[in-house]
Amino acid sequence: MRQSRKLDHIKYSLSLPDGPGVNGFADIDFVHNCLPNAGWDEVDISSSIAGISIGNPLVINAITGGAHDVTTVNGQIAEFARATKTAMAVGSQYAAFEDPAVLQSYKIVRKKNPDGVIFANLGAYATPEQAQLAVEMIDAQAIQIHLNVAQELIMIEGDRDFTGYLTNIGKIVDRVRVPVIVKEVGCGIAKEQAALLAEVGIQAIDVGGMGGTNFVAIEAARSQSEIVPEILGWGIPTVISAVEIMSVLPQNVDMIVSGGVRTSLDVIKSLALGGVAAGMATPIIRMLHEKSIEDAVCWFNHFLHEMKCYMLLSGATNIKDLTKLPIIITGYSREWLMARGIDTVQYGLRK
């Protein structure tokens, strides 16, 4: 059942549209800088997550876990990550604890990308011992602990008891020997839960907001079940979630912005909101599905080129510069954040 589900996740992520909820990036605008006082060669797009250096501020986020037939897909993603020097995460490794026969579908990632930055991945229900085994399985530099309550509730075979997740995450932090990244998978994280997660010692938080690949829609399609349209739009838009998180996040915890990141400008906006990186999955999977790895690498290099253009247009030469530049937050995002007591004017007055 679990293996079949992983194959379906790839199938429907490529066939279903994003949303219907919006990611909020349309509500963010930069103030053009006509005197950037910098040159192209000065622009540095390197970054770091929880002390782990990365060559560019992108993470190929998890979209599939272990199954015999996804071994090739995972290998392709790893080859792409190696060629572009991009960090990547594997999908949930819980399948390997249920069926050791699918171990190869994970191990191939490290085989194809021996020196790359790779994140392990498990749900918040996993034991601390399983978390450490997941790290060792692929020699990971960090582990993602994913939160997907909405997806589980729609999934016929999904979990129904989410008791003790926060306490368990704290135990995982104490047990594993690598940084712990907590990630939502499409419904976003509010400031209250972000503060609680920071208190238990996680080193990074991945927004995983609404507006991108919709795992609630994917699970509904898998089961051929009809659900009320409102639940498909449940969650916090990515931009709003990012601002909420940054309003409470301590300086020693990094933020990754994911959830409908589709363009190079989306990435730059994510970094300007305080992210050290942005996460993407479906666009890269689609490129690898429709094109060769060489074509996908060419596309990605152009993507990075566009990012550097936007940085110069705004007057930034590195990732930290972007967090100091004025950005304007308008529309629904501004209304939401004001209702939550978060001052959006401060973003427009940054220097």
10-residue mean pLDDT profile of the chain (351 residues): values are 60 78 97 96 98 98 72 92 97 90 91 97 97 97 95 84 96 98 97 98 98 83 80 95 98 97 98 98 91 96 98 97 97 98 97 87
- pLDDT value of position 227: 82
Q: Which range marks the domain in which residue 311 is found?
A: 2-348
Instruction: Quickly list H helices, 281-318.
Output: 282-290, 293-314
Amino acid at 176: V
Give the separation between CA 40 and CA 323, rounded to whole angstroms: 19
Which CATH number fits the domain that encloses residue 70?
3.20.20.70
- pLDDT value of position 19: 82
- pLDDT value of position 100: 87
Residue 315's φ and ψ, nearest 5 degrees, are: 90, 20
| Cα 245 to the center of its chain, rounded Å | 14
- pLDDT value of position 222: 78
Task: Mention every residue, 6+ apart, whose C-beta is less than 8 A from residue 49.
Answer: 59, 87, 142, 179, 181, 204, 254, 256, 276, 277
Domain count, the chain: 1
- pLDDT value of position 11: 75
Pairing outcome for strands 28-30 and 327-329: antiparallel
